[in-house]
Structure 1
Amino acid sequence: MVAGVVLALFGIASSIAQPLAGRLSDRAGRRKIFVIGGLVVLGAINLAFAAATAYWHLFVLRVVQGLAAAFTITASLAIVNELSDAGSRGGNMGVYNSFRLIGFGAGPLLASVLLEMGPFTMPGGAEVTGFEATFAVAAATAFLGTGLVGVLVQDPEGTAPTERRLALRVWDRSGSGWRLDTIFALGVATLIMASCMALLSAIEPEVNARLGQGPFLFAVEFVALIAALAALQPVVGRASDRMGRKWFIVLGLMGLVPTTLLQGVVGAPWQMIVVRMLQGGAGALVFAPALALAGDHTEQGQSGAQLAVLTVAFGLGISSGQLMAGFFVSFGFIVPFGIGSLLAVGAAVLVGTQVDEAEPAPSAA
């Protein structure tokens, strides 16, 4: 239970803080300082984990870690959006998301290697446990990122402080009749996409028992989706720059229907690996184009807050998918996957009817 709370606190704190963090960077008219500040705090918190001696220490550290991540995520995403034009935004969002996913997958793998290889003897003779080395490396990567951003990244030209009223809307009343706001509708679609992709992670014992496998094959199945997402997003993003974004998103959501449902049907580990890779491909059709289309629709000076709608939706989708799987699997193994596939159908209809394509993008080279 404590492990679950520790894991969840990061996502909860980050999701709550991201709209505020995005708004603050909008009002300041500066992004880089928020990215650097978030990375510095992340580095310090990573070091502090090694010194924690009580559960409440972990709770506090995870909340602060989530808050720091919120500032880094929203400001860095706003930089990518503002440095892009309509002809390159999809590809840039794809590259940005791919590196985020590579880090997400590499972190646990590196931690397991360090834990297994430790303890380590340092040049001066001091001994460092694998546990301490894990958080030291995590802190070092955060500080390395701080230095890279400080040297290589500049605030986009034309970014200026804004006092404009925050434009976060559920309904778009600009046309005839009532329709959902495009960014809000994309947020709902992103939430459902993330929920479908997160169903497997919460029911590892049931999956292993059903497929007759151990933790290693489950880890391969988990990473298969991340690998497909990371590999395909830049390609899909660039294609959406040339061909438009909306129907990539609809196609990806429709692809989530069979690839989610089949996870509740397959009976062998290799089948689950293949289906998870296909689900990652479907998710790639949604993720980068949705971020790029939301970026196409952001208002001047409000990239941070408005794009936070999608980043918050992704985090909440991961949590809701895990909760849904954990609750509904008791009614039958296929049940959570069936519910996820039905939600994907609804999301495809939602995007098809409620989302507006941006102005045609110029052809990308």
Structure 2
Amino acid sequence: MVFRRLREWFRATFLGTDRRVLVLALARMADSIANSFLIVVLPLYIASGQIPIEGLVGVEVGGLAVSEELLIGIVLSLFGFLNSLGQPFTGRLSDRTGQRRPFILGGLALLGVASAAYAFVDNYYAVVAFRMLQGLGAALTIPATVALVNELATSVDRGENFGVFNTFRLLGFGLGPIVAGVLITGGLSGTSVVTYRLFGTTVSGFEAAFAVAVLGAAASFALVTLLVSDPPETEAAAGEDLSVAIRDPTGEHLLDPVFTLGLATLFMAIGIGLFATLQELINSRLDQGPFLFSVEFAAVVIANVILQVPIGQASDRYGRRPFIVAGFVLLVPTTFVQGLVTEPLLMIAVRLGQGVAVAMVFAPALALAGDLAGKGQSGTQLSILTMAFGLGVAIGPLASGFLVGFGFVYPFAFGAALAAIGFVFVYTQVEETVSDTVAPGGDIVPQDD
């Protein structure tokens, strides 16, 4: 009985979703595998000695000695900075032209080219340059993709559509680090980089990982090229008034609700981004290898994969705000405790808890912002949230690389404090947008105005 209901739910949810949303989700899954590969691969690549950094480590800049962790944090963060800072411009340009697909394809092309280039670089600055190119590629792709998903949805199924989209995207993001850890070390328990023989050529685990990243970007490009087109109403609704409000235009609150959700998303993403920079320290502290770190990193994503669609559907039915508020309440302890645990299994459990919190915020926040976005403004309005997420993922590694110098717990205490501030912002500045009630039989019944 339970399995039959699960099968029916799966069929109704995933097969009943707009085909273009599914294709965009699958394309983002392939692309996310490629990008999340690099979150695990690049720190190991730099730390392995294949990229000389001896002349940079120990140099004092503004009284601060440059460390290996800080150099890794810069590489990881640059992607997020260029990605996030570029999104308001590309999202607005996408709205103004009334086109999404060309932006998506152009961004995917840049991501693929940069991934291929890593195998040929021989200095730290080249790694930085190609990471910046990837950031620009993501800035083109993300706002246009999210805007298109929003425009293919209605207020009745917007949470579900974003849940489906985020599920596949995050599935790729979660699988990437695990596959990367196995590919680089040659197995689940390996701790050193292996080599492969491919068509008579010796290929390192790093080169194999970069090749998979390229294949992921190429698969995404092919899916979007063959199966996705801009709906006619997108071009027809191309907007001229694309301003972004900071103060609440209604005067009921201090801050605009979409801007508030952007701030809250920024704080959440910083908490997520703290973990990756500390890979070597975490592995030493927990006495583990790269594979277990990959599992811990992916635990947040795994929880999201499982919960995104059910929470998105529930937010369509019961409202967006309760899930967002509860998510920030849970985010505070699950972020802080990561700085205290010393066992791999406990770290996995805490990271799963953090993933549950993120799942409760992510799809409902996008859906709420989508509810508020006017016609022809999806790229501009939703880019506030996607920009904030990318900026947070960029700030997180830098913050942890700096704060860990004061003690291992400090980065995670900082993330927990930001989560608490995010809770206050959402609780005081954001109102519900779903005005329907649920009848006893489970049907949605619109309320009278």
Ranges in structure 2 where 5+ consecutive residues have no aligned partner: 1-67, 187-193, 438-442
Which residue is 2:196 aligned to? 119
C-alpha displacement at 1:300, in angstroms?
Answer: 1.2
Higher relative contact order, chain-length normalized (CA < 8 Å, sep 6+): 1
Equivalent residue runs for 1:181-192 within 5 Å: 181-192=256-267
Which residue is 1:259 aligned to? 334
Which residue is 1:80 aligned to? 149
Amino acid paired to 1:42: L
Which residue is 1:102 aligned to? 171
Structure 1 position 17 matched with structure 2 position 80? no
**Number of residue pairs matched?**
362
Higher alpha-carbon deviation: 187-196 or 316-325 = 316-325
Secondary structure in 1 matching 2:120: coil
Structure 1 position 273 matched with structure 2 position 348? yes
CA 1:268/1:137 → structure 2, altered by over 3 Å: closer, same or farther? closer
Q: Quick one: distance in 2 between partners of 1:25 and 1:151?
A: 20
CA 1:276/1:55 → structure 2, altered by over 3 Å: closer, same or farther? closer
Equivalent residue runs for 1:116-195 within 5 Å: 116=186, 118-122=195-199, 129-160=204-235, 162-176=238-252, 178-195=253-270
Which residue is 2:105 aligned to? 36
Amino acid paired to 1:169: A
Contact (CA 8 Å) 1:241, 1:364: kept in 2 or not? Answer: no
Contact (CA 8 Å) 1:120, 1:130: kept in 2 or not? Answer: no
Contact (CA 8 Å) 2:77, 2:393: kept in 1 or not? Answer: no
Q: Quick one: distance in 1 between partners of 2:350 and 2:323?
A: 20
Contact (CA 8 Å) 1:26, 1:301: kept in 2 or not? Answer: yes
C-alpha displacement at 1:76, in angstroms?
Answer: 0.7
Identity %: 49
Secondary structure in 1 matching 2:416: helix
Secondary structure in 2 matching 1:50: helix
C-alpha displacement at 1:364, in angstroms?
Answer: 6.6
Contact (CA 8 Å) 1:87, 1:361: kept in 2 or not? Answer: no
Contact (CA 8 Å) 2:239, 2:376: kept in 1 or not? Answer: no
Q: Quick one: distance in 1 between partners of 2:119 and 2:160?
A: 38
Q: Quick one: distance in 1 between partners of 2:277 and 2:284?
A: 14
Amino acid paired to 1:57: A
C-alpha displacement at 1:163, in angstroms?
Answer: 4.5
Higher alpha-carbon deviation: 323-332 or 256-265 = 323-332
C-alpha displacement at 1:70, in angstroms?
Answer: 1.2
Contact (CA 8 Å) 2:318, 2:434: kept in 1 or not? Answer: no
Q: Quick one: distance in 1 between partners of 2:177 and 2:294?
A: 10
Q: Select the residue among 125, 138, 153 that pairs with 1:69.
A: 138
Contact (CA 8 Å) 2:84, 2:389: kept in 1 or not? Answer: no
Ranges in structure 1 where 5+ consecutive residues have no aligned partner: none
Contact (CA 8 Å) 1:173, 1:179: kept in 2 or not? Answer: no
Q: Quick one: distance in 1 between partners of 2:356 and 2:233?
A: 36
CA 1:218/1:359 → structure 2, altered by over 3 Å: closer, same or farther? closer
CA 1:361/1:67 → structure 2, altered by over 3 Å: closer, same or farther? farther
Structure 1 position 200 matched with structure 2 position 275? yes
Which residue is 1:285 aligned to? 360
